[in-house]
Chains A and B, each alone.
Chain A
Amino acid sequence: MENVHENKINSVGQQKKSKWSQILKEKWLYFMILPGLAYFIIFKYVPMWGIIIAFQDYSPFLGVWQSQWVGLEHFQYFFSNPDFLRLLRNTFILALYDLVFFFPAPIILSLMLNEIRLSAYKRTLQTFVYVPHFMSWVIIASISYVFLTTGGGLVNDLIARFIGTEVNFLSSPEWFRPMIIGQIIWKETGWGTVIFLAALASVDQEQYEAAIVDGAGRFRRLWHVTLPGLRSTIVILLILRLGNFLDTGFQQIYLMSNSLNRSVADVFDTYVYFVGITEGAFSYSTAVGLFKSIVGIVLIVGADRFAKKLGQSGLF
């Protein structure tokens, strides 16, 4: 107790000096930071000043220096644009669906994998569920087309045999969101189990033994031991997910949208592409992208605070 007290007094007086001397003492350790630091500055922070074009009337040929400064004009135009509400709605609903239906999927799957006793079987299964993750969206879009198209699609042939009519999965606005979420679940669930399985491996085996001694069955153990062991991982992944809440995955949406479902398929990502890249309105689309990032920051910080209030360890 006294010892600690003394140390404190000492450190207040020498704080500045000791900090530097400590750094000097461990200088080689600190040198190791440099490449990482350089990476972040060169590739992450320096390019960030490019968002300046969101406040300009940027012309690629004139470059950043000569383009005209217009302030918040692009933001005003965006928020007053009739498209804005539609885009916001479509993006939010898709993101919400994603959170509600996709986010729990890897958790459930990893819990199920965790219950498998035969480890050789478990490993093989794990490897197989990873496979869809490595397929590109182009391939998945083609597979979906082959399966779901009317007039010859496998799924629609089956449906027609049972119900009598075909379902326009690919071209009806009602089916667009379920189809997108279904594709994501198919593609990413297996891959998403990696982190949860790692967290599960670190759950103390003694707790299970104790629970068995206490007479807990499989579901009791799952509920009282496994899930609490996963809780902090789930919370952190949820917070991180909220940071990209508005990222709906450009490729997938772009590939699956067409004239008939565009009313629900237009999201911020595709809008930025159409307006920015194909029409060359770089400033405007940067402004839209910037708006999206700000929403992301707000959500991630908000979720972090919320998690801490609930007594969970957050990110920062």
Chain B
Amino acid sequence: MKSKFLRYLLMGLFVVGILVVTGCSDNSDTAGSDSGDSGSEQTDESSEERMHLRVFAPTFTTEPPTDDSPVLKKIEDYTNKKITMEWAPNSNIDDKFNITLSSGDLPHVMMVPGKSPSFVSAVEDGAFWELGSYLEEYPNLSQANEIIMNNSSINGDIYGIPRTRDLGRNGVIIRKDWLENLSLEKPETIDDFYNMLKAFSEEDPDGNGTDDTYGMVVSKYEGPWDVMQTWFGVPNKWGEDESGELYPFFMDDNYLESLNFFKKLYDEGLVNDDFAVMDPAQWSDPVISGEAGVQVNVLDEGHRIQEKIIDANPDNADPITVIKTVEGPTGLHNLPTSGYSGMLSVSKTSVKSEEELKQVLDFLDKMNDEEAQKLAENGIEGKHYEKVDGEYQSKVKDDPALQAEVDGFNQMLMYIPEAKSIKPDSSPLRELETQLKVENEDIVVANPAESYISEVYSKKGQQLDNIILDARIKYIVGQIDEAGLEDAVERWKSSGGTEYIEEINQLHQDAQ
């Protein structure tokens, strides 16, 4: 009796086991065939002849729009394509990109986060189309900014349409109410800048009678140091000497001077002393809460900070102002951004023929049209936004469900030749930010080596960068002195830096 029961039990278990195993293999089979012929198979009547495009894009929200979003339907109608979005969280987009690469099944259009070694090697292995020769046929794509195109190219070849951004986005965000309390002017030179930080730290700019403020907030993110050193005339990553040779920025004569300035700020307590460990996500908090008066960041953070200050204290109606840069010993300089944030590349595994490529490029081109930009960024008029007396009013702000239909499609936008979507009402501060971005373009320091792909750097870049960047932080906080700085440079050279310089110069000569 007992043994019989046991036997049935065992048989039952075994059957379940088999089912699990075969069930798994079945699933993977169907999944495989699904993705295999998804390009040709269309059940949707209205889109019978539409080309099916899979698009890999980052999402900043946990709930990106689904494929039945009405906005996506409109975009599909406008571009005459059938689109499936493949979202990946922006926080680990690099990992997701690499994993997608290694899966061998690349979506038609891929957002490439940057010119990472894995992207470059995939390009060398023929994973993506070279687009340079096709672009002139398309009304929008042909008008792309040449500097940005060059920056995003691989040694001059274009393997992706850059998602263009303002080149002159960097600036300085200042608490305007503090300036007014101390009757200071906006700083124009580095000395002014220093005096302002000093006053913000020591002269009680918020007028509450206690010594609870400091000058500038910096976080673990090292961007502000990069920006500020260009004020002193330090080149952007690579400088060019009289004979046309390229040299890395930290070998510039002005580099030490800029570091000494940073060190002075740190020693005198004008910068938060925990900057080397501060979480970048909290970077703006001290400015909002009135602990720090200055932040060197992208200009558009200015109005975000402003809105949060006003939210907390409506009486403080105009607390923020921005400037583009301050004048150093060699004039006005600012650090540009690369001018793009990732690019949209077309994979050769999904897009097999030139005809298909032209269809994809047609899609990318159309995404730059005004209507497509509005759809992807603002949504559908009347549903996601409306115009009241010609003024734009977003309706998604207080409606998460509605927001989830739009939020994220702007990741497919390249803004070539320019952004045409509707911007929310502009405040004086936003207008100032926009104006400064344009002015910045005249004073930004270009990186002559931006498009060069160095083999040494792709292998050891992270370690090389860390040697120099860590030394910079250590020098600022006083862990090492000038001799330690020189040691770091020597270590950089011996860890592959010397070959790196040679390689970059070789590429530079070839490009001339």
* B contact face: mostly helix, strand, loop, or mixed: helix
Taking the nearest CB of chain A, how far is it from the CB of B275, in angstroms? 9
Q: Would you call B17 and A35 a contact (CB within 8 A)? A: yes
Q: Which residue from A38, A62, A258, A278 sits with its C-beta under 8 Å from B125? A: A62
Given A29-B10, A259-B469, A281-B459 in contact, is the A63-B277 Cβ separation under 8 Å? no
Taking the nearest CB of chain A, how far is it from the CB of B475, in angstroms? 11
Taking the nearest CB of chain A, how far is it from the CB of B62, in angstroms? 16
Is B284 an interface position by the 8 A CB rule? no
Is B139 an interface position by the 8 A CB rule? no
Q: Would you call A259 and B14 a contact (CB within 8 A)? A: no
Q: Which residue from B21, B125, B470, B472 sits with its C-beta under 8 Å from A61? A: B125
Is B310 an interface position by the 8 A CB rule? no
Q: Would you call B458 and A279 a contact (CB within 8 A)? A: yes
Q: Would you call B274 and A170 a contact (CB within 8 A)? A: yes
Which residues on B sit within 8 Å (CB–CB) of A31? 10, 13-14
Q: Which residue from A28, A38, A280 sits with its C-beta under 8 Å from B117? A: A280
Q: Which residue from B95, B117, B274 sits with its C-beta under 8 Å from A171? A: B274
| Listed stretches A119-127, A143-151, A181-189, A199-207; interface member | A143-151
Is B94 an interface position by the 8 A CB rule? yes
Which residues on B sit within 8 Å (CB–CB) of A28? 6-7, 10-11, 14
Bound Cα distance A144, B466 (Å): 24
Taking the nearest CB of chain B, how far is it from the CB of A145, in angstroms? 7
Bound Cα distance A59, B125 (Å): 8
Q: Would you call A277 and B474 a contact (CB within 8 A)? A: no
Is A82 an interface position by the 8 A CB rule? yes
A77 closest partner in B (C-beta):
B459
Q: Would you call B10 and A280 a contact (CB within 8 A)? A: no
Is A260 an interface position by the 8 A CB rule? yes
Bound Cα distance A274, B466 (Å): 11
Q: Would you call B277 and A61 a contact (CB within 8 A)? A: no
Taking the nearest CB of chain B, how far is it from the CB of A47, in angstroms? 13
Given A260-B473, A281-B459 in contact, is the A59-B121 Cβ separation under 8 Å? yes
Bound Cα distance A140, B121 (Å): 38
Which residues on B sit within 8 Å (CB–CB) of A62? 125
Q: Would you call B14 and A60 a contact (CB within 8 A)? A: no
Q: Would you call B276 and A59 a contact (CB within 8 A)? A: no
Q: Which residue from B20, B273, B477 sits with its C-beta under 8 Å from A35? A: B20
Q: Would you call B495 and A258 a contact (CB within 8 A)? A: no
Taking the nearest CB of chain A, how far is it from the CB of B349, in angstroms? 8
Q: Would you call B116 and A170 a contact (CB within 8 A)? A: no
Which residues on B sit within 8 Å (CB–CB) of A171? 274, 276-277, 477
Bound Cα distance A181, B106 (Å): 43
Q: Would you call B21 and A38 a contact (CB within 8 A)? A: yes
Bound Cα distance A226, B458 (Å): 57
Taking the nearest CB of chain B, how far is it from the CB of A110, in angstroms? 35
Q: Would you call A170 and B277 a contact (CB within 8 A)? A: yes
Q: Would you call A258 and B21 a contact (CB within 8 A)? A: no
Is A167 an interface position by the 8 A CB rule? no
Which residues on A sit within 8 Å (CB–CB) of B462? 274-275, 278-279
Is B184 an interface position by the 8 A CB rule? no
Is B80 an interface position by the 8 A CB rule? no
Fill in one digit per residue for A9-36: 1 if any B CB lies within 8 Å of its CB, else 0: 0000000000000000000110110110
Is A73 an interface position by the 8 A CB rule? no
Which residues on B sit within 8 Å (CB–CB) of A209? none
Which residues on B sit within 8 Å (CB–CB) of A170? 274, 277
Which residues on A sit within 8 Å (CB–CB) of B474? 259-260
Bound Cα distance A263, B276 (Å): 14
Q: Would you call A34 and B14 a contact (CB within 8 A)? A: yes
Which residues on A sit within 8 Å (CB–CB) of B472? 259
Taking the nearest CB of chain A, how far is it from the CB of B117, in angstroms? 4
Which residues on A sit within 8 Å (CB–CB) of B495? 82
Q: Would you call A61 and B104 a contact (CB within 8 A)? A: yes
Q: Would you call A277 and B94 a contact (CB within 8 A)? A: yes
Q: Would you call A281 and B17 a contact (CB within 8 A)? A: no
Complex interface residues of chain A between 46 and 76 (CB less than 8 A to chain B)? 59-63
Is B479 an interface position by the 8 A CB rule? yes
Which residues on A sit within 8 Å (CB–CB) of B220? 258-259
Q: Would you call B118 and A258 a contact (CB within 8 A)? A: no
Q: Would you call B473 and A259 a contact (CB within 8 A)? A: yes
Bound Cα distance A171, B277 (Å): 7
Is A262 an interface position by the 8 A CB rule? yes
Q: Would you call B14 and A277 a contact (CB within 8 A)? A: no
A36 closest partner in B (C-beta):
B17
Taking the nearest CB of chain A, how far is it from the CB of B24, in angstroms? 8
A-B contact pairs, 10 of them (CB 8 A): A28-B14, A31-B10, A34-B14, A38-B17, A61-B101, A61-B121, A62-B125, A260-B474, A280-B98, A281-B459
10 A-B pairs with least C-beta separation: A280-B118, A60-B102, A28-B10, A35-B17, A259-B473, A61-B122, A60-B101, A170-B277, A61-B127, A280-B117
